[in-house]
């Protein structure tokens, strides 16, 4: 077993300058990177704090009582986040996901949701506004988030067995409270589409070999027919603190095999270009997908890279723009706003210039790297820019 490595360099302090190019880049909604990938999805981290200590994300050995979180004054305020979001939407973003850390720890988050929900896209298409949470605070927050304009929610849940779940979150948090949060989200109508189906209410399970593989079938049984989509995520080599080892990765193909031991599945088409999850539907007795039984998804970022269609940018809680989940450095947009006092045209040009130069495709290149090789430069932590 590989030893846990504590990074000696704080990636939050590393940043490239976000510069305004000499020739302005207008926000036309047609922005593409160097590989022809559009900018469609923006993930915004609203806090670097979390109340869980999952060992694949914020292990207790690193994120302990002495860990120095970002001071509140360093964080983007809601008006700054909303301003940047409007520029990104003008460049083509149609989906915004709020993440963390645990985003529901950010005080008065409903105010930000309301501000983002009122952003108009150039063609009048409603903005898809969603949030990823560990579910611990969802029971008390679901209704106010829905009322503020949140469309959808994804809850992270790594098992139904209470002992397994408490061990994975490493703060002895009971699984029943997360299930209550999911129920509250459903009661509030989060994820409910125009046809009365909960297509936007999802549960994500990170699968780690030797840890929670035995939870795959119980999770499938629990959410099958519930209207909630369950997605299984391969354990990823994000950051430097989780002690990632390829031996801990259970390929998504094996996850599907586990489920098919009990429930027949049929492959479904992707719901959108750039979709990270491969979709599988539960089949009825005739072997045909039955929407009433629902579907599952697998996110295979280790064994089947999806870099080719990646259209996601990530904004850290203090205003750094990251072009990949496995990035080593971000671009400092906060300094442009606070120090250089950039106009919205300046911000659009800077963001356009950064995205046009993007060539990130780490997951595709991983296959040619030595197994379990450590990156030459510490990658940013998932808890800092969200999954």
Instruction: Pick the more confident residue, 1 or 210.
Output: 210
Task: Measure the CA–CA gap between 191 and 189, rounded to whole angstroms.
Answer: 6
Report residue 5 as tokens.
Answer: 């490595």
Find the CATH number of the domain harbouring 327.
3.20.20.70
> What angle is formed at CA 337 by the lines to CA 332 and CA 341, rounded to 5 degrees?
130
Percentage of residues of the chain with pLDDT beyond 90: 67
The answer as to whether 98 is a domain residue is yes
Q: What digits encode the pLDDT tens for the residues 250-304?
A: 899 999 999 999 999 999 998 777 677 899 999 999 999 999 999 999 988 777 7
Asked if residue 312 has pLDDT above 50, the reply is yes
- What DSSP state is assigned to residue 292? T
Q: What digits encode the pLDDT tens for the residues 338-372?
A: 988 899 999 999 999 999 999 987 666 666 665 55
| Residue among 300, 306, 170, 302 at smallest CA distance from 245 | 302
- What DSSP state is assigned to residue 158? -
Looking at every residue in the chain, the average pLDDT score rounds to: 88
The answer as to whether 85 is a domain residue is yes
Report residue 206 as tokens.
Answer: 């990170």
Q: What local confidence, expressed as pLDDT, does residue 379 receive?
A: 63
Instruction: Pick the more confident residue, 42 or 9.
Output: 42
Q: Which pLDDT band, with edges at 50, 70 and 90, does 56 fall under? A: confident
Q: What digits encode the pLDDT tens for the residues 154-183?
A: 999 999 999 999 998 999 999 999 999 999
The answer as to whether 215 is a domain residue is yes
Task: Measure the CA–CA gap between 204 and 182, rounded to whole angstroms.
Answer: 12
Percentage of residues of the chain with pLDDT beyond 70: 88
| Residue among 154, 222, 163 at smallest CA distance from 191 | 154
Asked if residue 373 has pLDDT above 70, the reply is no
Q: Which pLDDT band, with edges at 50, 70 and 90, does 8 fall under? A: very low
As a whole number of Å, the end-to-end CA separation of the chain is 25
Instruction: Show the domain range for 221.
Output: 11-385
Task: Measure the CA–CA gap between 137 and 184, rounded to whole angstroms.
Answer: 10
The answer as to whether 134 is a domain residue is yes
The answer as to whether 337 is a domain residue is yes
Q: What digits encode the pLDDT tens for the residues 218-257?
A: 999 999 999 999 999 988 766 555 556 777 888 999 999 9
Task: Measure the CA–CA gap between 206 and 60, rounded to whole angstroms.
Answer: 18
Average pLDDT estimate for 302-329? 87
Strand partners, 97: 43, 130
Q: Which residue has the tokens 């949060």?
A: 181
Report residue 354 as tokens.
Answer: 């950064």
Query: Which phi and psi angles does 188 have, rounded to 5°?
Result: -75, -15
The answer as to whether 2 is a domain residue is no
The answer as to whether 5 is a domain residue is no
Report residue 305 as tokens.
Answer: 């890279």
| Residue among 40, 45, 44, 62 at smallest CA distance from 53 | 62
CB 145 within 8 A of CB 184: no
Where are any strands of DSSP class E within 112-200? 128-133, 152-156
The answer as to whether 6 is a domain residue is no
Q: Which CA distances in Å does 84 have to 92, 273, 316, 359?
A: 13, 24, 12, 22
118 contacts: CB under 8 Å, gap ≥ 6: 149
Q: What local confidence, expressed as pLDDT, does residue 205 receive?
A: 95
Count how many domains the chain has: 1
């Amino acid at each position: 077993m590989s030893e846990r490595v504590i990074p000696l360099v704080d990636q939050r302090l590393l940043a490239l300058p976000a510069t305004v190019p000499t020739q302005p880049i207008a926000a036309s909604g047609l922005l593409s990177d160097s590989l022809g990938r559009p900018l469609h999805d923006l993930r915004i981290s609203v806090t670097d704090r979390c109340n869980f200590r999952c060992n694949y994300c914020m292990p207790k050995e690193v994120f302990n009582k002495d860990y120095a979180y970002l001071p509140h004054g360093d964080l983007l305020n809601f008006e700054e986040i909303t301003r940047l979001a409007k520029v990104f939407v003008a460049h083509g973003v149609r989906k915004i996901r709020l993440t963390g850390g645990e985003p529901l720890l950010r005080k008065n988050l409903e105010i930000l949701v309301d501000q983002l929900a009122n952003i108009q896209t150039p063609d009048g298409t409603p903005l898809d506004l969603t949030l990823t949470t560990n579910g611990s605070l969802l029971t008390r927050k679901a209704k106010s988030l829905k009322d503020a304009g949140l469309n959808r929610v994804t809850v992270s849940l790594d098992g139904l067995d209470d002992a397994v779940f408490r061990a994975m979150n490493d703060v002895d948090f009971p699984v029943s409270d997360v299930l209550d949060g999911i129920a509250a989200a459903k009661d509030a109508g989060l994820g409910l589409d125009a046809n009365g189906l909960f297509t936007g209410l999802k549960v994500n399970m990170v699968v780690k070999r030797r840890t929670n593989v035995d939870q795959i079938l119980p999770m499938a049984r629990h959410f099958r027919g519930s209207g909630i989509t369950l997605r299984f995520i391969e354990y990823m080599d994000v950051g430097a603190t989780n002690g990632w080892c390829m031996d801990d990765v259970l390929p998504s193909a094996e996850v599907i095999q586990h489920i098919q031991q009990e429930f027949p599945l049929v492959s479904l088409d992707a719901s959108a270009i750039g979709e990270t999850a491969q979709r599988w539907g539960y089949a009825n007795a005739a072997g045909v997908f039955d929407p009433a039984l629902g579907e599952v998804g697998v996110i295979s970022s280790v064994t089947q890279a999806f870099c080719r269609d990646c259209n996601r940018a990530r904004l850290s809680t203090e205003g750094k723009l990251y072009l990949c989940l496995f990035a080593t450095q971000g671009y400092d947009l906060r300094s442009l706003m606070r120090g250089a006092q950039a106009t919205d045209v300046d911000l659009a040009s800077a963001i356009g210039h950064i995205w046009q130069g993007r060539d990130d495709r780490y997951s595709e290149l991983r296959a040619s790297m030595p197994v379990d090789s450590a990156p030459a430069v510490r990658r940013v932590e998932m808890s800092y820019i969200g999954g």
